[in-house]
Amino acid sequence: MTNPDDTIRVLIPLKVRKKNGRPKILTPADYRPSEDLAQDPHILRAIGRAWGWRRRMDAGEFATIQELAEAVGLAERHVSRQLRLAYLAPEVLKRLTYGREASAVSLYDLCFLAGEAWGQQVRQAF
């Protein structure tokens, strides 16, 4: 049996912030992540969706972003912004999907990196 004096208190320094509208636990600055961390599912889903839309547009299924937005039932502005993810630098895509590296910017900001030069995208994203 345990006595009330046998209590062990463990303090873990964490911060909870919202990222992409969901609560996310932020680890201490000196924390070194292990190799088995998973990628951000929101970013992976958005990149996959953008590439699917790009393929459909390249195949001629849709002539404009407006037609695509109507077909998928989303706002044209949202589709236009998310479609930019299909034009990210190959190094950025590789590090986000295979390298299991966390992006230093939000998904929203990542959409606007596609307009930058590929070298700048890598520096700004990580």
Count CA within 13 A, CB hemisphere, residue 25.
Answer: 5
Asked whether residue 4 is assigned to any structural domain, the reply reads no
Residues pairing with 18 in the sheet: 23
Asked whether residue 31 is assigned to any structural domain, the reply reads no
pLDDT at 37: 54
Record the pTM. Answer: 0.67
pLDDT at 117: 92
Instruction: In whole angstroms, give the CA distance from residue 49 to residue 43.
Output: 10
Asked whether residue 63 is assigned to any structural domain, the reply reads yes
Contact 92, 121 (CB under 8 A): yes
Number of domains making up the chain? 1
Asked whether residue 109 is assigned to any structural domain, the reply reads yes
Instruction: In whole angstroms, give the CA distance from residue 114 to residue 6.
Output: 56
Q: Please, what is the average pLDDT of the chain?
A: 86
Residue 106 structural domain: 14-26+40-125
Asked whether residue 3 is assigned to any structural domain, the reply reads no
Asked whether residue 103 is assigned to any structural domain, the reply reads yes
User: Residue 119 belongs to a domain with what CATH number?
Assistant: 1.10.10
Asked whether residue 34 is assigned to any structural domain, the reply reads no
Please report which confidence band the pLDDT of residue 47 belongs to, taking 50, 70 and 90 as the band edges: very high
Helix H segments across the chain?
A: 41-58, 65-72, 76-83, 90-97, 107-113, 118-125
Please report which confidence band the pLDDT of residue 76 belongs to, taking 50, 70 and 90 as the band edges: very high
Write the Ramachandran bin of 73: left for phi over 0, alpha for psi from -120 to 50, otherwise beta.
left
